[in-house]
């Protein structure tokens, strides 16, 4: 019982952290209900390099969401070059219990802090819904774009780190090989000896 409620709380926390629910309607249990996560899929955020933004639309409702439209106005052309993926995407239909993802690639024009905010989502909760439902995606939040120069310097030093790592791991690879090699030689010697006798 206790564990059960902990689990529910845990799931709720995950849902609250990653996803933002649609605004409430009169009848919450009827029709589609979309949770939209906006996530940045990058290890490094660097000036003039691709930033991969993924929108995952998950329908937790009991009907297909129709005329789904994701609009992200947060990448203004002064600060971002738009590389691929629609900033205003249309998905005709998201069936219940289904995830649909949409990807956008942008490149920040300058280094510095940037607050990734939410995208707006519009959809119809069921075929005969009189008006569109409005929802917000989650917001990735504050991020920092490294200057290309800084990144290049760091990356070069990483290469040095890797070289050091490779040198350091060599002995540990060399020892088992030496053991195997000497035991193989011993075994060969032994079999040679037995052949002679």
Give the residues lining the site for ligand NAG (CB under 6 A): 56, 58, 97-99, 115, 117, 139, 142
Separation CA 119–CA 154 (nearest Å):
32
Q: Supply the minimum distance, in Å, between the C-beta of residue 98 and ligand NAG.
A: 6
- Tokens 């707006």 belong to residue: 120
Q: What's the min distance (Å) between Cβ of 117 and ligand NAG? A: 5
Residues 70, 36 contacting (CB under 8 angstroms): yes
Nearer to ligand NAG, 34 or 89 (CB): 34
Q: How far is the CB of 2 from ligand NAG (least distance, A)?
A: 23
Cβ proximity to ligand NAG, 10 vs 187, nearer residue:
10
Q: At 98, list the tokens.
A: 């289904």
- Whose Cβ is closer to ligand NAG: residue 62's or residue 117's? 117
CA 67 to chain CA mean position, Å: 25
Q: In terms of Cα–Cα distance, which of 164, 196, 120, 151 is closest to 49?
A: 151
Distance (Å, rounded) from C-alpha 43 to C-alpha 45? 7
Least Å distance between CB 180 and ligand NAG? 46
Of the two residues 48 and 140, which places its CB atom closer to ligand NAG in the complex?
A: 140
């Amino acid at each position: 019982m206790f564990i059960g409620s902990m689990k529910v709380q845990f799931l709720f926390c995950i849902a609250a952290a990653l996803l933002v629910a649609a605004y409430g309607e009169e009848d919450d249990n009827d029709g589609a209900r979309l949770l939209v996560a906006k996530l940045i899929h990058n290890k490094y955020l660097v000036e003039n390099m691709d930033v991969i933004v993924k929108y995952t639309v998950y329908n937790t409702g009991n009907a297909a969401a129709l005329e789904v439209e994701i609009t992200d106005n947060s990448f203004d052309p002064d600060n971002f070059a738009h590389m691929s993926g629609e900033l205003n995407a249309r998905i005709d239909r998201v069936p219940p219990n289904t995830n649909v993802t949409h990807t956008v690639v942008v490149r920040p024009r300058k280094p510095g802090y940037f607050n990734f905010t939410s995208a707006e989502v519009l959809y119809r909760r069921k075929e005969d819904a009189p008006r569109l439902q409005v929802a917000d995606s989650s917001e990735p939040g504050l991020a920092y774009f490294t200057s290309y120069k800084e990144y290049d310097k760091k990356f070069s030093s990483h290469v040095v780190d890797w070289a050091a790592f490779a040198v350091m791991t060599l002995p540990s690879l060399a020892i088992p090989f030496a053991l195997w090699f000497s035991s193989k030689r011993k075994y060969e010697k032994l079999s040679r000896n037995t052949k002679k006798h």
